Structure 1
């Protein structure tokens, strides 16, 4: 077992099954040493987080959605590379929050994702970031996140 996966499990976390794309795209594309991961949604089996923040979904539940997405994006990376140890650096995280027009705490919601990446990967998890609000997101999910990750040869 790779060290990163063992660390993740020591935190009481597990990787979900690699989620199947819900439309006409693939989970990730590799170009050179970069993996471009498609937007992940907060859906893991029957655990799904839908609705607008903060009217339908609290900020805390939005953070949970962000963490859920990170675990499913890590599952995609593990499926693609066979080991999370091959992650050299999370380069960029783009987070989209399904929010009401007068909501301005998008960074607080996406912090759930950023903090989890750093907790799991240490300095390799530090990244540039965008946190935006959206009038709506696919399937009415509360959050969507995509990543760009530098990987070993």
Structure 2
């Protein structure tokens, strides 16, 4: 596996999207010392939310996992814009929020869509601490939201 995150993205057939503009009063990412804190990223592509609804009702767990993958790509784009992916030394923490239908308890499998991407791109440095939380609603009716903390050089 290449240590270069850009090469790994290319090997995976992926490219970083344009950074999603904030939908409220915040910035996509902030650096503080050796860490970058990325705001919650929705499953947006080309300026549009890819799906709406609750996981376990309008959105299947498999669809939600793919949406979490898109959230992770959006988070990496925010890191790229602020410091560049080459500065990342470790993905420290991933927090995933899943808009969940009553009785849905598969949040960890959904957020694997993000976690697996970080592992594929950064190898061992992509292994991270994580929370996967079920919530009643997310902004714009999104099924999934992902935020990350990364360590940078």
User: With structure 1 as the length reference, what TM-score do the two structures score?
Assistant: 0.94
Q: In the alignment, which residue of structure 2 is the partner of 1:32?
A: 33
Deviations 1:33-68 (A, max 9, x none): 011110000011246121100110011100011000
Contact persistence 2:8–2:120 (CA under 8 A): no
**SS of residue in 2 equivalent to 1:12:** coil
Q: In the alignment, which residue of structure 1 is the partner of 2:143?
A: 142
Note the 1:1-150 alignment, pairs <5 A.
Answer: 3-45=4-46, 46=48, 48-81=50-83, 83-150=84-151
List gaps (5 residues or longer) in structure 1.
none
Report runs of 4+ in structure 1 exceeding 3 Å deviation.
none
Q: 1:20, 1:39 → 2: CA distance?
A: 12
Contact persistence 2:138–2:144 (CA under 8 A): yes
List gaps (5 residues or longer) in structure 2.
none
Aligned residue pairs: how many? 150
Distance 1:47 1:136, change over 3 A: closer
Output the aligned Cα RMSD.
1.2
**SS of residue in 1 equivalent to 2:40:** strand
- Please state how far the C-alpha of 1:128 moved relative to its aligned partner: 0.3
- Please state how far the C-alpha of 1:127 moved relative to its aligned partner: 0.4
User: With structure 2 as the length reference, what TM-score do the two structures score?
Assistant: 0.94
Q: 2:142, 2:36 → 1: CA distance?
A: 24
